[in-house]
Each structure stands twice: as structure tokens, then as C-alpha cells.
Amino acid sequence: MNKERMILLADLLDSIKPEKFNITYWTSDYNQDENRHYCQDDIVDLSAYNCNTAGCIAGWAVAMKNDLQVNNVRLDHVEEIAKDYLDLTYEESQRLFYYGAASVWSDYKTQLDIYDNERLTASQAAIALRKIAVGEWEL
């Protein structure tokens, strides 16, 4: 695991607006009027500078790798690019990038105040990334 990049990613997640983070999709388009995210199709466009795009941890890792601007990356490549950029094993990436029973989010939901009906926020993800990077939590 690349601890420096994990901490930089945590810093990035702390700096973005809440609607720019969505754990459900690699990348999405945010509709402010509906307060809803829509999954992007085959090609990823994600930008820290465009208020209508959002990403998950993997999506933002790919954006960070590309100076906060991703254009024309195939959606099915996001996971692998983020895994490689953060220097994670396949198992680690599955536990970090996905939200479910076998995830880091399930293991530490009490510490992060995550409840079953709540969505993970960027600030909660940033806390977890820092704790994982410094070895307080296992990935």
C-alpha cells in the first residue's frame, strides 16, 4: 500500500463538496435539482473543477493520478487503475472500494458512525484512509 497516496487521497476527499462523493458509483453525474447521482456510462469523466461530477474512492484516486481531471477512461478500468495507483492488493481494493459486509466500512462502521441506512461520506472515507495508512486499522 502506498501510504503517502492514501493520505493525499484523504486530504482530497476532505476538500471536496459532499455531493462530489458517491460510494455507489466509480463516477457519476450529479443532478442538483433532483439531489441525485446518475451513473456514467462506458467512459469516465470526473473533475474536481466540474460541479456536476462525483466519484467514489477509486474514482477520486484515478482523478488524483491525473491531476484531478479524468476524461475518456473506460469505466471498467477505474478499479484496476486505482488499485495500482494506491499499490493495493486485489483483496485490499475489494475491501476499500466496495460497500458491503466484507468491507472496511462494515468492520469500522461503529467508529465511523455509519448506520445501515446511511451513505458513506467523503469525510468518513478520509478518516478511514488515514487510519489505514498509519496502521491503526487493517485493510
pLDDT tens digits, 43-67:
766 666 666 677 889 989 998 998 8
DSSP 109: H
Number of H helices, E strands in the chain: 7, 5
Inform me whether the pLDDT recorded for 97 exceeds 90.
Answer: yes
Q: Confidence class of residue 74 from pLDDT cuts 50, 70 and 90?
A: confident
DSSP 21: B
- Rounded Cα distance between 45 and 29, Å, is 9
Predicted TM-score of the model (pTM): 0.86
Instruction: Please give the pLDDT value at position 83.
Output: 97
Q: Indicate the domain borders of the chain.
A: 3-133
- Rounded Cα distance between 37 and 47, Å, is 15
Mean predicted confidence (pLDDT) in 21-35: 77
